[in-house]
């Protein structure tokens, strides 16, 4: 019988930053948990599995299973160290700004919803101390790629139930994630509660478009069907048509003035990175991966910039500094907590 691990009884305290050693404690008794080879045991006999060296605070199956499959299949695709293009690094620098990015060294960073770890490796190369988690088994991909690259601790856990005390992290990063949760506001409030006073948080969020675009129109047309499909089957279909359709899509997109509108109206989803410098084989791989990403996610609720502003509570007096702008996946927010 499958055991449901009770996240609420797990709590991580005493994070020793330099050596990244973590003392696990049972919040009920405040005593340390007993660590066996494959699990932690609390005084009240709850068990938390440790599989492939990664603590797991989740049910075995959850709504992010398609993401887990995606990130383990395309484990290296978007890593700068693999693509040899500094796309993740440039995106971080653009979105965070030099002021924030340059202060990450030695900071305790929480990366929420890490996927395969394209940003984990950038934080590590910036000498940050990184705690990185995802609800899916994408954490296995991240661990395989990044566990030896610096001070990183990776676990499988849920945004709604983060096993760390409140006001614990210097910096919290959550890109590409919140729109994929069942309740983005609740998810945002949960990560924000883990931020220290004087710390910063950066999120991004999918933009809701009010006119046809190649990124949104075909995707939201098909999602009612594809998000419910068997992910393996969906991936097989995408792998069949993208290599054939990508050159056609590229040709149409390059038609001056109307190319983009035409690809928006044609109901064939195709994530086409025309001009970011990838070679032909990489463009096919990225197109298959991101088309799958767009069509398979269980939840995908875009927002306007104003709706994102409302979600993060711009009027909240707890903000020392606040910026919101169009960029990255749609809308970017950086907040310094008072």
Ligand X SMILES: C[S@@+](CC[C@H](N)C(=O)[O-])C[C@H]1O[C@@H](n2cnc3c(N)ncnc32)[C@H](O)[C@@H]1O
The answer to whether 136 and 68 have CB atoms below 8 angstroms apart is yes
Nearer to ligand X, 64 or 146 (CB): 64
The answer to whether 96 and 88 have CB atoms below 8 angstroms apart is no
Among 12, 39, 55, 64, binds ligand X (CB under 6 A): 64
Among 146, 181, 272, 291, binds ligand X (CB under 6 A): 181
Per-residue binding string, ligand X, 84-123, x by CB under 6 A, is: -----------------------------xxx--x-----
Among 200, 293, 302, 335, binds ligand X (CB under 6 A): 293
**Residue 198 Cβ vs ligand X, minimum distance, rounded to whole Å:** 24
Mapped onto helix, strand or coil, the DSSP state of residue 111 is strand
Number of residues that bind ligand X (CB under 6 A): 20
Range list of H helices, the chain: 65-73, 80-83, 87-101, 120-125, 138-146, 184-192, 217-226, 231-253, 259-265, 280-296, 305-312
Among 12, 177, 289, 324, binds ligand X (CB under 6 A): 177
Nearer to ligand X, 41 or 144 (CB): 144
Nearer to ligand X, 43 or 89 (CB): 89
C-alpha of 25 from chain center = 27
Query: Which of 245, 204, 213 lies closest to 327, judged by CA?
Result: 204
Nearer to ligand X, 184 or 214 (CB): 184
- Residue range at the interface with ligand X (CB under 6 A); choices 42-50, 99-107, 172-180, 253-261: 172-180
- Phi, psi (deg, nearest 5) at residue 184: -60, -35
In the block, tokens 């890593």 appear at 79
Handedness of CA 86, 282, 215, 182 (dihedral sign): negative
The CA distance from 28 to 8, in Å, is 10
Per-residue binding string, ligand X, 127-166, x by CB under 6 A, is: -------xxx-x-------------------xxx------
Q: Is residue 83 within the footprint of ligand X (CB under 6 A)? A: no
The CA-atom distances, in angstroms, between 47 and each of 3, 28, 41, 56 are: 9, 14, 5, 10
Among 75, 180, 194, 208, binds ligand X (CB under 6 A): 180
Long-range pairs, 315-321, Cβ under 8 A, ≥24: 320/198
Residue numbers at the binding site for ligand X (CB under 6 A)? 64, 67, 71, 113-115, 118, 134-136, 138, 158-160, 175-177, 180-181, 293
């Amino acid at each position: 019988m499958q055991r449901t691990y009770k996240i609420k009884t797990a709590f991580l305290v005493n994070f020793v930053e330099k050596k990244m050693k973590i003392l696990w404690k049972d919040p009920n008794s405040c005593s340390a948990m007993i660590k066996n080879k494959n699990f932690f045991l609390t005084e009240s006999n709850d068990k938390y599995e440790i599989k492939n060296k990664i603590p797991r605070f989740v049910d075995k199956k959850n709504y992010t299973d398609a993401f887990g499959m995606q990130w383990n299949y395309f484990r290296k695709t978007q890593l700068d160290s693999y693509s040899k293009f500094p796309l993740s690094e440039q995106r971080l620098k653009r979105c965070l700004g030099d002021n924030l990015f340059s202060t990450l060294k030695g900071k305790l960073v929480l990366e929420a919803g890490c996927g395969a770890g394209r940003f984990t490796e950038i934080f590590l190369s910036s000498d940050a101390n990184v705690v990185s988690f995802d609800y899916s088994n994408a954490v296995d991909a991240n661990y395989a790629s990044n566990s030896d690259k610096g001070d990183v601790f990776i676990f499988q856990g849920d945004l709604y139930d983060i096993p760390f005390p409140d006001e614990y992290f210097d910096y919290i990063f959550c890109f590409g994630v919140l729109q994929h949760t069942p309740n983005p506001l609740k998810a945002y409030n949960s990560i924000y509660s883990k931020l220290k006073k004087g710390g910063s948080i950066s999120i991004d969020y999918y933009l809701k478009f009010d006119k046809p675009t190649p990124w949104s129109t075909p995707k939201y047309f098909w999602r009612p069907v594809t998000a419910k499909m068997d992910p393996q089957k969906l991936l097989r279909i995408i792998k069949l048509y993208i290599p054939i359709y990508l050159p056609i899509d590229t040709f149409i997109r390059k038609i001056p003035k109307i190319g983009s509108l035409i690809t928006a109206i044609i109901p064939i989803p195709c994530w086409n990175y025309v001009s970011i410098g990838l070679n032909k084989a990489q463009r096919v791989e990225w197109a298959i991966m991101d088309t799958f990403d767009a069509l398979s996610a269980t939840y995908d609720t875009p927002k306007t910039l104003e709706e994102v502003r409302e979600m993060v509570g711009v009027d909240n007096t707890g903000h020392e500094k606040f910026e919101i702008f169009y960029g990255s996946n749609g809308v970017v927010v950086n907040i310094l907590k008072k």
